[in-house]
Amino acid sequence: MLVHTRRIVALAVMATASAFAASHRNGPLVLEDQTANLNDLYVFRSYESGKSDRVVMSMSVQGFQAPDNGPSYYKFSDSVLYRFNVNNSRGLDGNADIQVDLVFQTQQRPNPTFVGYFGTLKSIDDPGIFQYQTYVVVVRNLKTGTANYYTTDVKGHPLSVAPPNLGPKSTPNYEATLGQPSVFTLANGMRVFAGPRDDAFYFDSAATFDTLNFRTPAPILAGAADTGAGAAAPAAVDGFAGYNISLISIEAPINMLTANNSVPTDPKDPNAKIGVWAATLRQIVTLRPSPSDPVNYGEYVQIDRVGNPLTVEALIPLPMKDYWNRSEPANDQQFAQYIGNPFFASGILNGVFGLKVPPAPRNDILGVFVPDITRIDLTIPPTPMAQQQRLGPLAGDNAGWPFGGRRPIDDVVDIGFRALAGVLVPGYGVAPNNQLGDGVNSNDVPLLGVFPFHAPPHAGYKHSGIEGTNGRGMVTGQ
């Protein structure tokens, strides 16, 4: 039985305070630059009907967006380069082979109002969209040195950002009118989306950060508490319920991402696996000649990155987080001493809770997090949405994290808790190690079964941070 000791040393408190936050608050310096602050990365074979030959890559940015935060609302930064990196060769060494960049441009359309959006928005081209954003997609093959630029879809429409969900008067039938019309098909066969979405990450952050003050039955989940939707609020509270994020999603044919342009079927094929991570970059010099607009110069330098969930939160010490964010996955061996002997396992799971965990070095963890890229085995078929398991491979669903990439449904917190406890190491996959969890087992609102898969954004008019917790609600304003 898990014993919760009353003595919690200062180090344990510090480690917990920076543990599971899904990159939403992932370093002291990046907190001052929220439009470049990455939250989560999702990479998975599409489970949309007829699209299983495609891979979806999504990054979320600028977390904890209050849907009613007008009058300008949230947007992508014009001075940030948002990048997907794809590693498809050399044994997945953390060096990019393909890069997909998105650069945004904001147009403040002339208007006499004080708001960014006005009236009932009837389409993505509605004149009431005063704060209008477009973007360019750049696909680079670093092996051949070629780059292709896309500013419009196959029909010639500019690649525009979906507007926010203001409420039932301004944005009625949001997803049909504004959400899905913001999905664009490019001339190379990719589909893209950029805009606000519900945050698909779910986690009882408040209980964890209150010095491991888990709500019963957490942190030991058994029976329906582990297999069902989880307890409803206030028994379990999703700290991300009701909040939006800015999402960038790319859907690409599998053969566009492999080194030999194949669709591998044999797991032993060297092209069967690829690795993906996201990054944000800014030009190295910014001048602010006030009252004029800022001017940016020089090469782009990395501000933030995210590969696997929970890496920088649970494995990297607080004083090194900013340095981690600016470093490259190919150089992650320098962090092996922390990742291979994680304090969360030795200092908290063992030191505070008394669990028996594997001794260092933790090769099971090093194999996933060094280099820190989300790996996806392209030979694993996607699991239909209705049959997906939140615990992924721990529940027999190999299409989830960490073997099949990461899907929106994957409960990376519970998987992460159990992995750190050593459930993949022989002799450690027993109770209570294989029952750890925070008690929140699903997203606050149902996910979509079609691209971009994240639920529509919550509406400002009916914003609620707790209503419908644990998958029992609907997106407000729909």
Per-residue pLDDT of the chain (478 residues; tens, 9 = 90+): 443 333 222 223 333 333 444 547 778 888 889 999 999 999 999 999 999 999 999 999 999 999 999 898 999 999 999 999 999 999 999 999 999 999 999 999 999 999 999 999 999 999 999 999 999 999 999 999 999 999 999 999 999 999 999 999 999 999 999 999 999 999 999 999 999 999 999 999 988 888 889 999 999 999 989 988 777 777 888 889 889 999 999 999 999 999 999 999 999 999 999 999 999 999 999 999 999 999 999 999 999 999 999 999 889 999 999 999 999 999 999 999 999 999 999 999 999 889 999 999 999 999 999 999 999 999 999 999 999 999 999 999 999 999 999 999 999 999 999 999 999 999 999 999 999 999 999 998 899 999 999 999 999 887 766 654 445 666 655 5
The answer to whether 282 touches 99, Cβ cutoff 8 Å, is no
Cα–Cα distance, 245 to 151 (Å, whole number): 23
- Cis ω before 291 (30° cut-off from 0): yes
104 in helix, strand or coil? strand
Instruction: Give the C-alpha distances (Å, rounded to integers) separating 182 from 84, 195, 309, 445, 450.
Output: 20, 8, 27, 21, 13
Global pTM? Answer: 0.93
Rg of the Cα trace of the chain?
A: 22
Q: Which residues pair with 287 in a beta bridge?
A: 295
Containing 249, the helix (H) or strand (E) segment is strand 244-253
The answer to whether 420 touches 344, Cβ cutoff 8 Å, is yes
| Domain boundaries of the chain, sorted by first residue | 10-435
Instruction: Please give the pLDDT value at position 466.
Output: 62
Q: Which residues pair with 274 in a beta bridge?
A: 376
Report DSSP state, residue 106.
E
Tokens of 110: 């002339």
Angle of CA points 45, 51, 53, to nearest 5° = 60
The closest of 271, 296, 295 to 284, measured between CA atoms, is: 296
The answer to whether 109 touches 132, Cβ cutoff 8 Å, is yes
Tokens of 39: 């939250």
85: exposed, middle or buried (Cβ count in 10 Å: 0-12, 13-18, 19+): buried
172: exposed, middle or buried (Cβ count in 10 Å: 0-12, 13-18, 19+): middle
Task: Tell me phi and psi for residue 225, to 5 degrees.
Answer: -65, -20
Tokens of 328: 């490259």
Q: What is the 3-state secondary structure (H, E, C) of 19-39?
A: CCCCCCCCCCCHHHCHHHCEE
Report DSSP state, residue 220.
B
Tokens of 117: 């959006």
Report DSSP state, residue 148.
E
The answer to whether 197 touches 148, Cβ cutoff 8 Å, is no
The closest of 273, 127, 229 to 445, measured between CA atoms, is: 229
Cα–Cα distance, 83 to 70 (Å, whole number): 28
The answer to whether 24 touches 244, Cβ cutoff 8 Å, is no
Number of residues that this document lists for the chain: 478
Task: Tell me phi and psi for residue 107, to 5 degrees.
Answer: -115, 115
Cα–Cα distance, 189 to 153 (Å, whole number): 10
The answer to whether 239 touches 203, Cβ cutoff 8 Å, is yes
